[in-house]
Structure 1
Amino acid sequence: MARIEAKKVELAYGRIKELVVNARFRPGEQLQINELSEELDLSPTPVREALSRLLAEDLIVGVPNRGFFCKQLDVEELRALYEFAFVVLKHSLRFGLEAAKEERRFEEFRFDDDEITTGTPNQKDSHDLLARRIERLYVTIAALSRNPLMVSCIRGFNDKSHYMRVMDLSSEGHLGQIRPELTRLVSNLRAGKTADAVKQLDRLHQRKHENLPLLAREGLARAFLSNGAEYHGIANGEARL
């Protein structure tokens, strides 16, 4: 029985987290346990436990005696998040990039081809897949530190910034700027050029720092205009950005 309940919590956690990281709820919107339970065809208990996990991961907020709420898009919080994450990534490069060159850890990553768009039904799917490829790259870099806390930090960063990353990739003209930057980064990673890879990360960080206010405004507008509360179909894993 305990195993069945644990599976229900994992199901609820996975489905709701997908909606949260893709901003399918409006900023500040209350996450209604009974409505989510009905959509997932689960009792309120696993849904409540899933929301508690998301709260512990700082993906949502909790208000005593009121419940759980979607986080607001806060530019300063996002800037602090990016700054800390890129400090971790740069430390990880300095710690272990030379060894990674011998292990060919970055051979799988490509950003200079059209493979990412092959077989995707629409542009939103393509941007989401590309964002997840970038996130895998960041986790791979963090793993060079051999520090599980740093890897966990980058995984959390990826979750919290996923929506902004997809927004950036889908903004007019941005994809054409981002892909060459990532291609140069991967080239330096494969060659074991630590100093050049760190400089490339600095350029990516500076670009994001400059674009965050605009992206946050656009993200906020899209979250409201897309009627973020539309989460029907999550029981079957159909939720998409």
Structure 2
Amino acid sequence: MSVGDLGRRNADSNADHGRVYTCLKAAAIDYRFRPGEQIMIGELAERLRVSSTPVRETLIRLQTEALLETAPRRGFFAKTLNLKEMSDLVQLRFLILKGAIEQATDVIANGAAIALSWIIPDSAGVGDTRSTARTANRTTLDQPDEAVRYIEEASESVAALCHNDAILRALENMNDRTHYVCMIDLERVGRLMEVQLMLDELCLALQRSDVAGVVAVLKNYRDELTERMPALVKEGISRAYTTPSRMLIASQFDAGLPTLRKPVVANRSVFPRR
């Protein structure tokens, strides 16, 4: 085998690893595997038309990210939605964000947060007189799946102000693990408008260098999610048990998934997502 052939083979292998990871992580985040279902490496490899190596390595990686579970000598299993775990994760996400904001107090006071005015989404129902921070390049939040990504990107951009990579990576993981229930929350009638107003208040507090105000907005969001969590988990479990996941995964892999989270807006974060 020539050096060129070996290079192409390695490139193909790396591409397979990347595509398998993107596909299976998206499936785990969205609970497309049935809760508690054993995940068979050989079956997935056959469906995705790759060797078992990238599938096995992806499952190990997802288990370390707490997106899958393992059992000794039994293999990998899909996560089961758990009320206490989801409530704990929402609380931990708030504490991570609060710590990041408090660590970034000086940065916020020096006006760096003005660059985050993009987090105010467009809102047909809210007049522009509410804020002078609104810009011509805005995003309208009219779909729950887009809105939950937007909130995640906004929270990560705020956390990035503290310039602490470990904090940001921890927050990204919390966002991944709560993504499913947060998206269900946004399906409630009127909830998207509430989120738009929340982001408006968050950005205005940042621009005023009002750290306490920023924390208060995030605390209110945490409290709202915590209050609704029993209903969100119940609905999430019902959906997860009725999703025909495996064929969906195969069809998405065939189409090719460019990213786990399609960027909603550009240049939002100090640290790019992995």
Per-residue CA deviation, residues 171-197 of structure 1 (Å, 9 max, x unaligned), is: 233323333222211221233211111
Q: Which runs of 4+ in 1 moved over 6 A?
A: none
1:105 aligns with 2:115: yes
Number of the residue aligned with 1:182: 199
Give the percent of matched residue pairs that are identical in Structure 1 and Structure 2.
29
**How far apart are 1:86 and its partner, in Å?**
0.7
Q: What are the residue-to-residue correspondences of 1:194-205 with 2, within 5 Å? A: 194-205=211-222
AA paired with 2:48? Answer: L
SS for the counterpart of 2:15 is: helix
Question: 1:228 & 1:217 partners in 2: Cα distance?
Answer: 19
Number of the residue aligned with 2:268: none
Question: 1:229 & 1:15 partners in 2: Cα distance?
Answer: 11
Number of the residue aligned with 2:89: 81
State the TM-score, normalized to the length of structure 2.
Answer: 0.78
Q: Name which one, 1 or 2, has greater alpha-carbon Rg.
A: 2
**How far apart are 1:209 and its partner, in Å?**
0.9
Number of the residue aligned with 1:41: 49
Number of the residue aligned with 1:237: 256
Question: 1:174 & 1:213 partners in 2: Cα distance?
Answer: 17
Once superposed, what is the RMSD of the aligned Cα atoms?
Answer: 2.3
Question: 1:76 & 1:116 partners in 2: Cα distance?
Answer: 33
1:162 aligns with 2:162: no
SS for the counterpart of 1:69 is: strand
AA paired with 2:116? Answer: F
SS for the counterpart of 2:116 is: coil
Question: 1:150 & 1:162 partners in 2: Cα distance?
Answer: 18
Given that 1:98 and 1:194 are in contact with CA atoms closer than 8 Å, whether structure 2 keeps it comes out as no
Per-residue CA deviation, residues 173-230 of structure 1 (Å, 9 max, x unaligned), is: 3323333222211221233211111111111111111011110001111112333444
Q: Which of 191, 203, 220 does residue 237 from structure 2 map onto? A: 220
Q: Which of 6, 9, 22 does residue 14 from structure 2 map onto? A: 6
SS for the counterpart of 2:76 is: strand
What are structure 2's unaligned runs of at least 5 residues?
Answer: 1-8, 125-137, 261-274
What are structure 1's unaligned runs of at least 5 residues?
Answer: none
Question: 1:39 & 1:229 partners in 2: Cα distance?
Answer: 8
SS for the counterpart of 2:115 is: coil
State the TM-score, normalized to the length of structure 1.
Answer: 0.88
Q: 1:46 to 1:214 in 2, by over 3 A?
A: same
Per-residue CA deviation, residues 35-83 of structure 1 (Å, 9 max, x unaligned), is: 2212322111111111111011111011122211110101111111111
Question: 1:165 & 1:156 partners in 2: Cα distance?
Answer: 14
AA paired with 1:24? Answer: R
